[in-house]
């Protein structure tokens, strides 16, 4: 019988939030796939020193690691590994432990060293035989080394991927700190210069600037085209702004390639000379606060799914397979050649050094370029350079429909900014279609009025919906009345933000076009709902904010469960008849089981899970972090709710362990939206207005025949696409259950079960009725 395959994982370089989630995923996936799992402690230093720094890991060894910051297996710089003798020792230790499959989570330097190690491996093994360390027979099974990289970096500085493990947690810390700073800046009418990490990458600075509505952002890749001091000197408070926020990356440069320091910016803003700005200015350097703390949901999910994919990749690799790393493109996990990405990253650094900033930006991923463009659009609002001719300017109504979701205000702000910069007139329709239908000039229940930019400018970080929202559909408000009001206010286009009710509204308006000609205007929907149940998109604004809140809530509950030792908590999750939130939260908190509407709940399923819990607690050796969580969607069953499930578990446990239920309710909608929700809101909202703008004014005849005149913008795999509402209505929507027919996240549910060691269980009779399981291999929910 052939020996079991051994897979090792190590973290190297700087620590990043989410690294522990990646290690956990690698260890448990390797074991689940019939391999032995090893951790190499202290990075390359542990690889060179060997001994007890290379340890076999078992299933329970990584329990509770999802919520831990930093890296629990350590990381250390190792000068010895830079030289061949050091790499020879590393090879010796790996062969001695029978390891020939290595997954490394680190930055580009660590991954470059790993690839060089792989290239030298055959000659290193030959040298070990020649030195008498091993016989030829001993090394025969380990003639080839397979390596896969996971990129851990809060700077998000590797080319070829939209995001690296840790960057979203760092962005969350920055946004939180800048939100605090803005409050005091506004109170004292001050300017603040906030320095963030990013020696060679402006990703954190650009996205933080976009998410917080900062006045200026300075980065390495793209200096201001004109002298930055001259541009910043034009800052003024005539519009009534009481604060100025400047975000500068630590590696920021001017167009001459000279480093820009926070002190330099402060001196400019606080200059009290005759032509100076004389602003009361402070400097805040966030430093290592950015990389600390528990990882946010997105980093846990990214690290977990990439870790699973890395194990598959390293086991599928052959001697001729090029070393790959696991990357993210929009919403899809993909394998990419490692060396090409490293070369492009190094080429980018050289481009910055040589002041070829156009080339530097080209080497960044598409998402970065989009974010940078979006930031400039939302800050250069009053500049007249991009305004359209008067006859091409449109009057665009903006309305929120459905429940509030994080990012709605950021989306409205971005849409308004783009409209003003192009000369369009953005008009707010307050309180959804209900407010639209019932407003009156003398007694407004809602309001229809042009946006005030000074008011909207402060909405970037606000949660909820500043223009209000309502679930009422146009047909409920009165379609004829809505059509007459659209004609009365002379709207040339309609921009909707919301959940399934908003999708249903667009569908109703589209179908009524033949009866009401005033509805023959382009309209597009930006999905915003914690349920993520809008057909046409794998992502909705507010979902990341919701998941961060839910994951934080579960972490606290799990701590209580662990402290009380033998306890199971059953947590009820919102999400309507879509199990997305429940499954993704289950992945990020290591739930023992998740119950979703798409599958349903049966007594036999509960019986199997209770028996599994009995076995788990019977085998408990008394280590910490022994608490267990079960997540159940609010509509997974008409009978088995969280309270009843907890009661059943308690009864069947026979005092072996306890169970409690917990309902976070609307708390999961969150307060301030997450950085990711804010940034995606800005990018997608601008694309929506550009799409509406492409139709122009008086496009009634074209609108009647063009399916793209009523659309949903969405992220599908690695692409941002506009989908026809007509097609989605007819083929993509499960109307009775108010969700898409395609559940792009279903495979993630299988990962949750695999990483929690949940055994096979009887499927309910109506399990997954009418649901299409999309091919989501390597997909990110």
- Residue 617 sits in a domain whose CATH number is 3.40.50.460
153 is in an annotated binding site: yes
- What pLDDT score was predicted for residue 778? 44
Last residue of a domain, one of 247, 263, 291: 291
- Cα separation of 599 and 82, whole Å? 52
Q: Are 465 and 432 in contact (CB under 8 A)?
A: no
Q: State the pLDDT at residue 226.
A: 66
Beta strands in 613-699 (DSSP E): 628-633, 658-662
What is the CB neighbour count within 10 angstroms for residue 538? 26
Same domain for 535 and 590, yes or no, is no
What CATH number is attached to the domain comprising 421? 3.40.50.450
The answer to whether 738 is a known ligand-binding residue is: yes
Among 291, 306, 335, identify where a domain stops.
291
Determine the 3-state secondary structure of 516 from DSSP: coil
Residues 419 and 478 occupy one common structural domain: yes
Phi, psi of 162 (to 5 degrees): -70, -30
Residue 769 has what pLDDT?
47
Structural domain including 222 reads 168-291
pLDDT at 706: 93
Binding residue per annotation — 197? Answer: yes
- 499 annotated ligand binder: no
Is the domain of 286 the same as that of 420? no
Contact call for residues 232 and 269 (beta carbons, < 8 A)? yes
Residue 48 assigned ligand-binding role: no
The answer to whether residue 474 is domain-embedded is yes
Q: Is residue 774 part of a domain?
A: no
Asked if residue 173 and residue 32 are part of one domain, the reply reads: no
pLDDT in tens, 367-421: 888 899 999 888 878 776 789 999 999 999 999 999 999 999 999 999 999 999 9
554 is in an annotated binding site: no
Residue 181 lies in a domain: yes
Which of 44, 45, 172 minimizes the C-alpha distance to 111? Answer: 44
Same domain, 426 and 523: yes
108 appears as a binding residue in the annotation: yes
Encode 398-434: b = buried (16+ Cβ within 10 Å), e = exposed. bbbbbbbbbbbbbbbbbbbbbbbbbebbbbbbbbbbb
Task: At 657, list the tokens.
Answer: 């362990």
CA distance linking residue 232 with residue 218, whole number of Å: 11
- 630/532 same-domain check: no
- Which residues are known catalytic residues? 155
Those residues of the chain that have pLDDT short of 70 are 1-2, 225-226, 235-240, 384, 440-446, 563-565, 621-626, 766-781
Q: Which tokens belong to 152?
A: 């851990």
Provide the 10 A C-beta neighbour count for residue 620.
13
Tokens 């569908």 correspond to 507
User: Given the structure tokens 């998941």, which residue do they identify?
Assistant: 547
Look-up: residue for tokens 């009001």?
Answer: 485
Residue 598 lies in a domain: yes
- Distance from C-alpha of 565 to C-alpha of 248, rounded to nearest angstrom: 46
Reduced to 3 states, what is the DSSP secondary structure of residue 633? strand
- pTM exceeds cut of 0.85: yes
My answer on whether 136 and 87 are in the same domain is: yes
Confirm or deny that 19 is annotated as ligand binding: no
Query: Going by C-beta distance under 8 Å and a sequence separation of 6 or more, which residues neighbour residue 91?
Result: 117, 121, 124, 125, 128
Co-location of 704 and 597 in the same domain: no
Q: Is residue 368 part of a domain?
A: no
Is residue 198 annotated as involved in ligand binding?
Answer: yes
Examine the domain organization and report whether 606 and 751 are in the same domain: yes
Same domain, 598 and 654: yes
Task: Answer yes or no: is 374 within a domain.
Answer: no
The C-alpha R_g of the chain, in whole angstroms, comes to: 28
Residue 461 CB partners (closer than 8 Å, separation 6+): 175, 179, 182, 211, 212, 213, 410, 672, 673, 678
Whether residue 678 sits in one domain with residue 655? no
Q: What is the pLDDT of residue 474?
A: 97
Confirm whether 763 is domain-assigned.
no
Question: How many beta carbons lie within 10 A of that of residue 182, not counting itself?
Answer: 20
Q: Is 565 a known ligand-binding residue?
A: no
Query: What is the number of structural domains in the chain?
Result: 4
CA atoms within 13 A on the CB side of 775: 0
First to last CA, the chain: 39
Q: Is 288 annotated as a binding residue?
A: yes
Q: Is 84 within any annotated ligand binding site?
A: no
Nearest one of 111, 513, 29 to 323, comparing CA atoms: 111
Residue 357 forms part of a structural domain: no
Residue-level length of the chain: 781
280/311 same-domain check: no
CA distance 774 to 754: 19
Is 290 assigned a ligand-binding role in the annotation? yes
């Amino acid at each position: 019988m052939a020996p079991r395959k051994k897979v090792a994982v190590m973290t190297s370089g700087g620590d990043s939030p989410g690294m522990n989630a990646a290690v956990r995923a690698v260890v448990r996936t390797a074991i689940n796939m019939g391999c032995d799992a090893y951790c190499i402690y202290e990075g390359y230093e542990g690889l060179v020193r060997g001994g007890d720094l290379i340890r076999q890991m078992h299933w329970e060894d990584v329990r509770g690691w999802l919520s831990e910051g930093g890296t629990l297996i350590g990381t250390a710089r190792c000068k010895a590994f830079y030289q061949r003798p050091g790499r020879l020792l590393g090879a010796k230790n790996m062969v001695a432990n029978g390891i020939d499959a290595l997954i490394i989570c680190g930055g580009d330097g660590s991954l470059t060293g790993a690839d060089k190690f792989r290239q030298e491996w055959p000659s290193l093994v030959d040298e070990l035989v020649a030195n008498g360390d091993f016989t030829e027979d001993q090394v025969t099974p380990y003639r080839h080394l397979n390596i896969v990289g996971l990129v851990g970096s809060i700077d998000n500085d590797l080319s070829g991927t939209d995001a690296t493990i840790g960057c979203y947690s760092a962005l969350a810390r920055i946004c939180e700190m800048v939100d605090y700073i803005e409050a005091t800046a506004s109170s004292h009418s001050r300017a603040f210069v906030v320095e963030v990490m990013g020696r060679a990458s402006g990703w954190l600075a650009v996205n933080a600037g976009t998410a917080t509505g900062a006045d200026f952002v300075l980065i390495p890749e793209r200096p201001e085209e004109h002298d930055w001091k001259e541009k910043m000197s034009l800052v003024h408070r005539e519009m009534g702004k009481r604060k100025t926020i400047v975000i500068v990356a630590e590696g920021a440069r001017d167009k001459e390639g000279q480093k820009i320091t926070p002190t330099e910016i402060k001196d400019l803003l606080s200059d009290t000379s005759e032509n100076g700005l004389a602003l009361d200015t402070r400097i805040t350097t966030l430093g290592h606060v950015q990389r600390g703390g528990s990882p946010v949901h997105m980093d846990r999910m990214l690290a977990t799914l990439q870790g699973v994919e890395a194990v598959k990749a390293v086991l599928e690799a052959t001697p001729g397979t090029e070393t790959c790393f696991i990357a993210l493109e929009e919403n899809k996990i993909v394998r990419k050649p490692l060396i090409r990405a490293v070369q492009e990253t190094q080429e980018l650094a050289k481009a910055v050094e040589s002041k070829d900033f156009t080339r530097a930006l080209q080497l960044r991923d598409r998402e970065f370029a989009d974010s940078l463009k979006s930031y400039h659009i939302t800050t250069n609002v009053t500049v007249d350079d991009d305004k359209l001719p008067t006859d091409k300017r449109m009057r665009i109504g903006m309305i929120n429909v459905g429940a509030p979701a994080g990012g709605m205000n950021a989306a409205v702000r971005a849409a308004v900014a783009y409209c003003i910069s192009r000369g369009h007139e953005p008009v707010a329709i307050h309180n959804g279609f209900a407010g639209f239908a019932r407003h009156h000039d003398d007694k407004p229940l809602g309001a229809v009025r042009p946006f005030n930019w000074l008011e909207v400018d402060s909405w970037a970080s606000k949660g909820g919906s500043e223009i209000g929202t309502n679930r009422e559909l146009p047909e409920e408000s009165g379609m004829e009345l809505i059509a007459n009001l659209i004609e009365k206010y002379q709207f040339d286009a309609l921009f909707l933000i919301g959940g399934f009710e908003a999708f249903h509204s667009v569908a109703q308006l589209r179908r009524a076009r033949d009866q009401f000609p005033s509805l023959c205007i382009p309209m597009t929907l930006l999905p915003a709902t914690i349920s993520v149940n809008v057909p046409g998109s794998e992502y909705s604004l507010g979902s990341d904010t919701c998941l961060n809140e839910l994951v934080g809530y579960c972490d606290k509950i799990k701590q209580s469960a662990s402290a009380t030792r033998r306890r199971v908590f059953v947590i009820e999750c919102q999400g309507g008849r879509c199990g997305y939130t429940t499954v993704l939260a289950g992945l990020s908190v290591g739930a023992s089981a998740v119950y979703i509407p798409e599958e349903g709940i049966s007594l036999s399923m509960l019986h199997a899970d209770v028996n599994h819990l009995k076995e788990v607690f019977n085998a408990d050796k008394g280590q910490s972090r022994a608490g267990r969580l079960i997540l159940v969607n609010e509509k997974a069953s008409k009978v088995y709710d969280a309270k009843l499930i907890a009661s059943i578990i308690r009864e069947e446990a026979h005092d072996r362990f306890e169970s409690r239920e917990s309902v976070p309710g609307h708390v999961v909608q969150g307060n301030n939206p997450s950085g990711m929700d804010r940034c995606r809101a800005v990018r997608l909202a601008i694309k929506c207005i550009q799409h509406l703008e492409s139709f122009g004014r008086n496009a009634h005849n074209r609108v009647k025949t063009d399916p793209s005149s009523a659309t949903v913008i969405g992220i599908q795999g690695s692409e941002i696409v506009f989908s026809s509402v007509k097609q989605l209505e007819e083929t993509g929507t499960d109307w009775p259950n108010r969700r898409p027919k395609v559940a792009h996240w279903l495979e993630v549910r299988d990962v949750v079960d695999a990483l929690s060691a949940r055994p096979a269980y009887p499927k309910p009779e109506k399990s997954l009725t009418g649901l299409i399981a999309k091919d989501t291999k390597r997909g990110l929910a």
